[in-house]
Amino acid sequence: AQAGFGAFLPLLAMDADAVKTSALALVPDESAWPAIQALRSAHDKQVKIWPPHINILYPFVLEKAFDVARQRLIEALRDVGLIRLRFARKSNFGAVAFLVPESDEDPNLARLHAACSDAFGELPHPCHAFQPHLTIGQFDSESACKAFLDTCPPLQLEVSAQVCLLARDTMKHPFRIVSRLVFDELNRCSFAPGDSRPYTPASGTEALVGGRMSPGPACDYYQISRSHIRFFFKVSTEAFKGTDPGVSSDGAPRRTLFVVDKSGSMGCHYEEVKAAVRYMTGAAEGTDHVLEFILYGSSAICAHACDVLSSSPSGGTSFGAAFRAITEYIARYPMGTILTVVFMTDGHDTRTQNLPAEKHAFVDFLKTCGRQTTIHAIGFTPLHNRGALEEMCKMGSSEGMYRYADGRDSGLEARFAEMFDFADVNIKTSLRIGGTELPCSGQDCGGGEARFDLLLPRAFLADDSPCGVEVCRVSIGSGEVTLKAVAPDPMFSIRCVDEMEISTQSDLDSAQRALAEVLPQKAPKILRQEVIDAKGLAQARLDKYHQLFAQGARSALAATGGNLAAELSSLRHEATFSKARRARAMAQRATTNASSVALMDQLLQALPPPSEEELADLKAKELSCTLSGDTAVEVLRDTKRDFMVFALRVRRPEDVIDAPTMLELQQVLSGIYSNEAFRMGAEYAVRSAGPEQAHGGFAGTAKQPAALGNEVGLFRGPDGQQMNACLPLYISAEHFARVRVQIKPILGYFFTLDPLGYKGDQTIALYGILGSMLCFRAGMGLGSDKKDFCGAWADWVIEDFTKLCAGIRPVALEYLEKGSFGGAPRGDLLDDFMRSPAGRTKERVTSLSVVIGWAASVGSELSKQFYMVFVEELWRRNFTCLYKGQPREPIVEVLERLLYGASADDGASGKDALEADDPARNRAAKDREFAQWACYLRGECPKKMADEMRKRYGSGPRVGPEVEGLASADAAYSPRTLLLYEDAPEYFDKIVEAELEKICHHNAFTAALYEGRPFGEGFMGSEKRLMLIQALQFVGNDVVNEAVEKHRYLDTFSCLTSSNGQEHDRTAESCICGQLHERFEQHRKERFSACVEQRNALRTAQRILASSSLDAFFGRCAVSCPTRGGSVFECLVALLCAGGIVNGSPAPLLLEKVQAVLTGKLDGVPVIAEGSSWACCPRETARRLQEVVGEEAFAKIELLMNGTWGHVYRESDIPNRHGHCNSNPNEQLVVSFSGFRLATVGG
Is residue 128 a contact partner of residue 113, using CB atoms and an 8 Å limit? no
**Nearest C-alpha neighbor of 508 from the set 564, 464, 550:** 550
Number of neighbours of residue 457 by Cβ within 10 angstroms: 14
Q: For residue 701, name the pLDDT band (cuts at 50, 70, 90).
A: confident
The residues, ordered by sequence, that sit 6+ positions from 1236 with a Cβ below 8 Å of its Cβ are 1177, 1179, 1182, 1183, 1198
Long-range contacts (CB closer than 8 Å, 24 or more residues apart) made by 759-764 = 759/589, 759/660, 760/815, 760/818, 760/820, 760/821, 761/659, 761/660, 761/661, 761/820, 761/821, 762/660, 763/808, 763/811, 763/812, 763/815, 764/660, 764/661, 764/812, 764/815, 764/816, 764/821, 764/829, 764/850
* Per-residue pLDDT at 488 exceeds 80: yes
Residue 465, pLDDT score: 73
User: Which residues have CB under 8 Å from 774's CB, separation 6+?
Assistant: 798, 852, 853, 856, 1009
Residues sharing a CB contact under 8 Å with residue 327, sequence separation 6 or more, in sequence order: 362, 365
At residue 926, does pLDDT exceed 80? yes
Phi-psi group of 385: left, alpha or beta (phi > 0 → left; psi -120 to 50 → alpha; rest → beta): beta
Residue 970 has what DSSP assignment? Answer: T
What's residue 1133's pLDDT?
A: 93
**Higher-confidence position of 298 and 1205:** 298
Give the tens place of pLDDT for each residue, 942-993. 888 888 888 888 776 678 899 988 888 777 888 888 999 999 999 999 999 9
Q: Are 1134 and 887 in contact (CB under 8 A)?
A: yes
Work out the number of other CB atoms within 10 angstroms of the CB of residue 798: 18
Which of the residue ranges 421-425, 491-495, 1155-1159 has the most confident prediction, judged by mean pLDDT? 1155-1159
End-to-end CA distance of the chain: 86
For the chain, give the number of residues.
1243
Q: What pLDDT shows up at residue 787?
A: 63
Task: Specify whether the CB–CB gap between 20 and 285 falls below 8 A.
Answer: yes
What pLDDT does 916 receive?
Answer: 43
- Are the beta carbons of 303 and 295 closer than 8 angstroms? yes
Q: What is the 3-state secondary structure (H, E, C) of 15-82?
A: HHHCECCEEEEEEECHHHHHHHHHHHHHHCCCCCCCCCCEEEECCECCHHHHHHHHHHHHHHCCCCCC
Does residue 111 surpass a pLDDT of 70? yes
Query: Which has more pLDDT, 791 or 248?
Result: 791
Query: Given pLDDT bands bounded at 50, 70 and 90, which one contains residue 697?
Result: confident
The amino acid sitting at 1188 is V
Interhelix angle 319-331/355-368, rounded to 10 degrees, is: 20
Convert the pLDDT of each residue in 553-565 to its tens digit.
Answer: 777 777 766 666 6
pLDDT at 572 over 70: no
Q: Angle between the 1064-1086 and 889-900 helix axes, to the nearest 10 degrees?
A: 130
Give the DSSP H/E element, type plus range, for residue 881.
Answer: helix 864-882
Over 60: is that where the pLDDT of 1027 sits? yes
Residue 869 in contact with residue 834, Cβ under 8 Å? Answer: yes
Please give the average per-residue pLDDT across 642-668, as a whole number: 92
Q: In this predicted structure, what is the pLDDT of residue 597?
A: 81
| pLDDT above 50 (res 634) | yes
- Looking at per-residue confidence, does 526 or 369 come out higher? 369
pLDDT at 867: 95
At residue 209, the pLDDT reads 33
Amino acid at 895: L
SS (H, E, C) 1134-1149: HHHHCCCEECCEECCC
Q: For the range 12-16, what are the long-range contacts, defined as Cβ-Cβ under 8 Å and sequence gap of 24 or more?
A: 12/122, 13/122, 14/61, 14/120, 14/122, 14/123, 15/122, 15/123, 15/124
pLDDT at 909 > cutoff 60: no
Query: Is the pLDDT at 13 greater than 70, yes or no?
Result: no
| Mean per-residue pLDDT, 1118-1145 | 88
What's residue 585's pLDDT? 82
For residue 912, the model assigns a pLDDT of: 37
Of residues 393 and 422, more confidence is placed in 393
| Cβ contacts of 669 within 8 Å, gap of 6 or more | 646, 647, 648, 649, 717, 719, 721, 723
Report pLDDT for 130.
87
Q: Is 12 exposed, middle or buried (0-12, 13-18, 19+ CB in 10 A)?
A: exposed
Residue 1236 has a pLDDT of 84
Q: Residue 166 carries which DSSP code?
A: E
Name the nearest CA neighbour of 1027 among 838, 867, 842: 867
Q: Tell me the CA distances in angstroms from 777 to 375, 712, 741, one per residue in order.
A: 73, 24, 29
Residue 907 has pLDDT above 60, yes or no: no
CA distance 585 to 657: 8
Note the pLDDT of residue 826: 86
The confidence band for 281, taking pLDDT boundaries of 50, 70 and 90, is confident
- Which distant-in-sequence residues (6+ apart) come within 8 Å of 119 by Cβ? 72, 73, 75, 76
DSSP annotation of 705: B
Task: Give, as one character, the DSSP assignment of residue 161.
Answer: E
Under the banding of pLDDT at 50, 70 and 90, the label for residue 433 is confident
| pLDDT(264) > 80 | yes
Neighbours of 779 (CB within 10 A): 16
Comparing 844 with 787, the larger pLDDT belongs to 844
Output phi, psi for 556, to 5 deg.
-65, -35
Separation CA 139–CA 95 (nearest Å): 5
DSSP state of 966: P
pLDDT greater than 50 at residue 135: yes
pLDDT > 70: what percent of the chain? 88
Per-residue pLDDT, averaged over 1146-1174, amounts to: 90
**Kind plus residue range of the DSSP H or E element containing 680:** helix 675-689
Model pLDDT, residue 577: 65
Tell me how far CA of residue 1224 lies from CA of 1204, 1227, 1233, in angstroms.
Answer: 12, 9, 17
Q: pLDDT tens digit string along 338-359? A: 888 999 888 888 899 999 999 9
Longest dimension (CA), the chain: 125
| CA 290/CA 293 separation, integer angstroms | 10
CB 925 within 8 A of CB 1063: no
What was the pLDDT predicted at 215? 39
Query: Mean pLDDT for the chain?
Result: 83
Distance CA 894, CA 904 (A): 9
Quick: pLDDT tens for 1097-1117: 999 999 999 999 999 999 999
Question: What does the DSSP 8-state code read for residue 436?
Answer: E
More confident: 415 or 94: 94
CA dist 571 and 33 (Å) reads 59
φ, ψ (nearest 5 deg) of residue 1135? -65, -40
Helix (H/G/I), strand (E/B), else coil: 437: strand
Alpha helices in 1160-1203 (DSSP H): 1179-1189, 1191-1201
Cβ neighbours of residue 626 closer than 8 Å, sequence gap 6 or more: 671, 672, 673, 717, 718
Q: What is the pLDDT, as a whole number, of residue 567?
A: 65
Per-residue pLDDT at 731 exceeds 80: yes
pLDDT digits (tens, 9 = 90+) for 834-843: 999 999 999 8
Higher pLDDT: 194 or 1098? It is 1098
pLDDT at 1239: 60
> How much of the chain, in percent, has pLDDT values that exceed 90?
33
